[in-house]
Structure formats: structure tokens, C-alpha cells
Amino acid sequence: MSHGQREEVSDVKGRLLRVATRLFADRGYAGTSIQAIAEEVGITKPSLLYHFPSKQILREAVLENLLTRWEARLPRVLAVATAGLDRFDAVFGEAAAFFREDPNRARLILREAVDRPVETRERLGGRIGPWVRLLTDAIRVGQSGGRVRAEVDPEAWLIEVVLLVIGTYAAADLAAGVFSNRDLDGDGRRELARRQLDEIIRMAKTSLFVPKEETS
């Protein structure tokens, strides 16, 4: 296979993964047909099956692609995850950027969590667990140093904040419709999501860190 042919195959597979991510998030796995995915990409069903021999294999590829892309961000997240007020924005900024690039990722995670809770828990626990443990350990270090509120439950706090971030992007259409008195275009919805994220970070900081005047 020539270099050009390899690039073409890679491009088709990338488009298949993007479209499948969106349709699985919109309709669920059971409600999405191979034919529908192929039509949206602009190829035939046999062509799709050449790249992914079954819908289950395509689903696995979609989830693996999502987790692999998140893991590619981990070095940047881990570099700023040593629990300091000045580094807090950067940690959650990376998580927000991941979902902002493609809000369907957030919607797919929630869909999978509802449709396959045990499988999703095991999958995410194995791949995201180390990141969660590092951040909760950092919170405990902050508690030992008096910078983080002693009453905070590190695991529960982190889970709630992550769910808020995911929910911001998963429910972007709902937020735009319920809390805006006008139709928002793509830029307007992104701006609303940015405002929501800023508020999540403000609330999270307030609930996590001891005020400076109390630590001096």
C-alpha cells in the first residue's frame, strides 16, 4: 500500500470514528445502524465493514479512540496536578479542552454510563483511575498543608467536579434552550459553555481551598 493510500484509509477511518461517536451519543448503540453511519460518511456499507467488520468492533474502536485521546493529554494534566491554587485552572482546563474539541465525547460517556454501567465503570476505572488517584492524593497533600479544607472528601469532590464538566458539554443544547431567550449559534453555545465552566471552577475552588486570610 502506498503512502497516499495509507493516508486515505486513515482519513476514512477517522471520519467513521467521528460520525460513529456522534450517532452513538445521539441514538445509542442499539439505535444506530451500520448503514446510517456509512451514509453519513459517504461510503457504502461494505466499505465500512472493510474497516470495521462489525458494529461491535466499531463501537470498541470508538471507545478506544476516546480513551486514547484522553490519555494523550495525561502528561500535561499530570504536570500541573500538584494541588495549588495557581495550577487548578490548568488541570480542569485540560479536561474542558478535551470535551470542547468534540462535545460528543461527553455525551457518549454519559450514554455508555446509562446503557452499560458496569462495563463503563470497569473501562474508565482501568484507564482513568491512575489520574483520579493522583489528583485525590494531591488534594490530601493540600489538606495536610492546611491549604485545602479538611472536611473535603477528595474522591467524592473530584467525581462531582468531573461530572459537572462532562455535563456542561453533554447538555449544551439543553442549557442553550432553557437558559437563553434567543437561539444561539455555534459561537454562542461555546460562549455559554465557557461561562458555565468558569462558574464550575469558581465553585470548585471555593469548596476546596481554605481562604488565604485563614491560612496566614
Domain with residue 175: its CATH number is: 1.10.357.10
CA distance 109 to 112: 5
DSSP letter assigned to residue 209: B
Q: Which residue has the higher pLDDT, 141 or 15?
A: 15
Residue with cell 462489525: 54
More confident of the two residues 215 and 47: 47
Q: Tell me, what's the pLDDT at 87?
A: 64
Contact (CB, 8 A) for 36 and 20? no
Tell me, yes or no, whether 96 and 190 share the same domain.
yes
Phi-psi category of residue 180: left, alpha or beta, with phi > 0 → left and psi -120 to 50 → alpha? beta
Do both 123 and 191 map to the same domain?
yes
* Strand (E) or helix (H) holding 197: helix 186-208
User: Largest alpha-carbon pair distance within the chain?
Assistant: 68
**Residue 21 belongs to domain with CATH number:** 1.10.10.60
| pLDDT reported for residue 16 | 96
> Containing domain of residue 4, as a range?
1-53
Residue 92 has pLDDT above 90, yes or no: no
Whole-angstrom Cα distance, residue 61 to residue 160? 28
Find the Cα–Cα–Cα–Cα dihedral 151, 157, 85, 99, rounded to 10°.
-170
- Which class for 66: exposed (0-12), middle (13-18), buried (19 or more C-beta within 10 A)? buried
Identify the pLDDT of residue 5.
46
* Reported pTM: 0.78
- Decide: helix, strand or coil at residue 146: coil
What share of the chain in percent tops pLDDT 70? 81
Residue 212, pLDDT > 80, answer no
Same domain, 49 and 64: no
Report d(CA 17, CA 27) in Å as an integer.
15
79/156 same-domain check: yes
pLDDT in the model for residue 133: 82
pLDDT in tens, 162-205: 888 888 888 876 666 666 555 666 677 778 888 888 898 889 88
Angle at Cα 181 formed by Cα 176 and Cα 187, nearest 5°? 45
